[in-house]
Amino acid sequence: MPTSSQRANRSLVVAGIAWALFWSLMVLVAMEDYRRDGGTALWQPMLWETSSAVVATVLFLVQRRFSRGDDALVATPRRWFGRQLRWLPLYWFGFTPIVFAIRHGIYALAGARYEHQPWSDVFVYEALKISVFFGLFTTIGFGLLSYREMMKERVRAEQAGALLREAQLERLTRQMQPHFLFNALNTISSLMHTDVARADATLVRLADVLRATLALGERPQARLRDELRLAQGYAAVMAERFEGRVTLAWDVDPATLDVMLPAISLQPLLENVFKHTVGRRREATAIRVAAAVDGDTVIVRVEDDGGVLDESGTPGITVTNLRTRLTALHGENASLALIALAPAGVRAEMRLPCTC
């Protein structure tokens, strides 16, 4: 997306081109009228309009140089136009003397005499003409300034929205950390009563998992490869607790490893399986984690062969949190669904735009 300075430069270029085209048209019209009236010295009408263009440009630049402080008033048109009207006398009393001095001087250098109406008539006519041009240029300038301010406001709104989303994502991500820490420490506590050596080994492994968790929690998004590293470390810890009661399969397409997911999103889905399925049944539970590309969508699945969906249909904190973060990041282009499998089992399926 172009920056505000780039938009401002683009507006200046467009305004400059429009200004040059306007005065070029004035020169061409004057030359054509002069030719139709039987004139042959085409340099004369070219001089008339070119001198007007140069002086009008200089006066306009002077006006802009000393009236930039009025740009803040563009939201109140009456005040802004009132400030610009203060510059009209500059055009009345500066435009005609300078323009006609240039014309007389060049005519003299060419060995000719520049003839025109009496000075009183010239001043009145030129004042009226430059007033019309002043009104036209001022109105166009107001339109350009209004457009620039509108674009600035749009950028500010987009930046504010991005900051708000980032803050929301950070809050939601950090919400998952104490939830995970509580369950992980509870796992260590259970092992301490049955096998101290295993508990010690698991504690070392847990330390690595916690470091990964804290690192991922510092940003709103993480690559799937990093999410897998955390999820696999967590699964190893939990497999120690539920020894012999769980088998894990990882079916991940290498093309998905650099896809960006909401930070700490895969591990909570895996944690749900351990909490609601593995922990509640004595039979062995098979868990499968898969990731694949389907057209312009990446599908990440965590499924088991023994879970049962809650009949109330009310999602827990993990699902609610992750859905909110997916919406904040991708809007309607991402989703998280819980699907009942037959004859038993639950699949958590996350879909998000493919960036691979």
pLDDT tens per residue, range 25-76: 988 998 998 889 888 899 999 999 999 999 999 999 999 889 888 887 888 8
Q: Which region holds residue 223: left if phi is over 0, alpha if psi is between -120 and 50, else beta?
A: beta
Establish whether the linkage from the previous residue to 220 is cis, with ω within 30° of 0.
no
Q: Looking at the chain, which runs of residues are DSSP E strands?
A: 221-223, 246-252, 260-262, 285-294, 297-304, 335-340, 346-353
Q: What whole-number distance in Å separates Cα of residue 184 and Cα of residue 260?
A: 25
Percentage of residues in the chain with pLDDT exceeding 70?
86
Q: What whole-number distance in Å separates Cα of residue 49 and Cα of residue 44?
A: 9
Task: Give pLDDT tens digits for 93-123.
Answer: 999 999 999 999 999 999 999 988 999 999 9
pLDDT surpasses 90 at 4: no
Residue-level pLDDT at 319? 85
Average model confidence (pLDDT) for the chain?
Answer: 84
pLDDT surpasses 60 at 5: no
Residue-level pLDDT at 167? 52
DSSP H or E stretch at residue 29: helix 4-36
Q: What whole-number distance in Å separates Cα of residue 308 and Cα of residue 340?
A: 7
Residue-level pLDDT at 145? 84
Contact 242, 274 (CB under 8 A): yes
Percentage of residues in the chain with pLDDT exceeding 90?
38
Start-end of H helices in 193-290: 196-216, 224-241, 266-276
Contact 177, 213 (CB under 8 A): yes
pLDDT band with cut points at 50, 70 and 90 for residue 183 = low
Name every residue whose Cβ is closer than 8 Å to that of residue 114 and which is 6 or more positions away in sequence: 100, 103, 104, 107
pLDDT surpasses 80 at 236: yes
Contact 202, 253 (CB under 8 A): no
Q: What whole-number distance in Å separates Cα of residue 214 and Cα of residue 211?
A: 5
